[in-house]
């Protein structure tokens, strides 16, 4: 499933290009599920969960540009829910996080339609989330071939372990900005770099890569005539707690069943253990 040298590579670099985890039929099933959700959104949308409206354009009459981001696909389509328990994916995540169990923070579709010339700047995910520790890893699964031209992931190797960008340094930076002691931080300077400043991670449909929540990453524009759809699953190590002092207005906070300082558990955040899901595709 995963070799120790791959775990060491991840620990040193903050990302791992893994390879194939789904076959053609499984990828097509996910694409079909996405198309059904797109049709619902074009028809006016589903407001049964607060996050369903987030990050995309409803009522768009262009199927090519309907969705840029769609949160918690697992609540909408059975194929996406099953994927949360894929034994290879959850097994790798447990190995990378050194935990017996991982729990979903959320999943999402990120789409760069043809001719989408938007650059998603370098950032660290952790500080956008109301969580207490950076023991969180993202699985980035390609639904289409992701190349440099179509906007594949670019990472900055080792940035997850750079002492300038860990939570303690982030808090000091925020305090310094509030006191007008600094105007621009090293983090700000990195965010302005082009995606080419990082290392591209090209993967084919059905393949995945993993990155640490403190790893700086970005995607360049999609300048091709092809779709570049990706399904992103973000998993927390067992024991991760709520921290409402960081990003307390996140769209998922209204769905929390626990309070500040408590372990984030509940029906909206399903757990996955590799040993429990041997027949994952059977539902």
228 beta partners: 112
Structural domain including 230 reads 4-249
Q: What's the rounded Cα separation, in Å, for the pair 161 and 171?
A: 16
Q: Tell me the C-alpha distance between 238 and 264, whole Å.
A: 9
Quick count: other Cβ atoms within 10 Å of Cβ 51?
A: 18
For residue 259, the tally of other CB atoms under 10 A from its CB is 9
Torsions phi, psi of 28, nearest 5? -65, -35
Mean of pLDDT values over 50-61: 78
Residue 157 lies in a domain: yes
157-214 pLDDT per residue, tens: 999 999 999 999 999 999 999 999 999 999 999 999 999 999 999 999 999 999 999 9
Confidence band for 276, pLDDT divided at 50, 70 and 90: low
Is position 214 within any domain? yes
pLDDT category at 126 given cuts 50, 70, 90 is: very high
- Determine the Cα–Cα distance for residues 206 and 106; give it in Å rounded to an integer: 20
pLDDT for 278: 47
pLDDT at 63 over 80: no
Given a cut of 50, whether residue 282 has pLDDT beyond it is no
At 280 the pLDDT is 44
Q: Given this model, what pLDDT does residue 152 score?
A: 96
Q: Domain for residue 194, yes or no?
A: yes
CATH code, 9: 2.60.120.620
233 membership: H or E segment, kind and range: strand 228-237
- Which residue shows structure tokens 């670019």? 154
Per-residue pLDDT at 41:
87
DSSP state of 14: S
Residue 266 counted as domain residue: no
Q: For the chain, give the number of residues.
A: 283
The answer to the question of residue 124 being in a domain is yes
Q: Give the dihedral sign, CA 160/165/166/167.
A: negative
229 is a domain residue: yes
Report percent pLDDT > 90 for the chain. 83
Question: Is the confidence at residue 51, as pLDDT, over 80?
Answer: yes
Rg (CA), the chain: 18
- Better pLDDT: 282 or 146: 146
Q: Is 39 exposed, middle or buried (0-12, 13-18, 19+ CB in 10 A)?
A: exposed
Q: Does residue 275 lie in a domain region?
A: no
The pLDDT of residue 164 is 95
pLDDT at 1: 80
Domain assignment present for 273: no
Contact call for residues 67 and 109 (beta carbons, < 8 A):
yes
Number of domains in the chain: 1
């Amino acid at each position: 499933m995963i070799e120790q040298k791959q775990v060491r590579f991840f620990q040193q670099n903050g990302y791992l290009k893994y390879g194939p985890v789904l076959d053609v039929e499984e990828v097509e099933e996910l694409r079909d599920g996405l198309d059904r959700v797109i049709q619902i959104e074009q028809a006016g949308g589903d407001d049964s969960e607060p996050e369903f409206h987030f990050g995309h354009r409803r009522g768009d009459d262009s199927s090519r540009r309907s969705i840029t981001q769609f949160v918690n696909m697992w609540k909408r389509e059975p194929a996406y829910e099953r994927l949360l328990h894929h034994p290879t994916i959850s097994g790798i995540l447990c190995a990378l996080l050194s935990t017996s169990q991982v729990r979903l923070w959320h999943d999402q579709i990120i789409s760069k339609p043809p001719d989408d010339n938007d650059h998603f700047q370098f950032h660290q995910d952790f500080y956008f989330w109301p969580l207490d520790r950076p023991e969180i890893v993202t699985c980035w699964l390609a639904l289409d071939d992701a190349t440099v031209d179509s906007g594949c992931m670019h990472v900055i190797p080792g940035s997850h372990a750079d002492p300038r960008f860990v939570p303690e340094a982030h808090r000091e930076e925020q305090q310094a900005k509030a006191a007008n002691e600094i105007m621009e931080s090293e983090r700000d300077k990195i965010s302005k770099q082009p995606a080419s400043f990082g290392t591209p991670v090209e993967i084919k449909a059905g393949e995945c890569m993993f990155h640490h929540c403190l790893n700086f990453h970005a995607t360049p524009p999609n300048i091709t005539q092809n779709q570049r759809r990706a399904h992103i699953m973000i998993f927390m190590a067992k024991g991760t707690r709520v921290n409402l002092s960081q990003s307390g207005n996140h769209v998922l906070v209204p769905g929390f069943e626990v309070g500040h300082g408590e372990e984030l558990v509940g029906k909206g955040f399903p757990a996955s253990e590799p040993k429990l899901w041997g027949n994952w595709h059977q539902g």
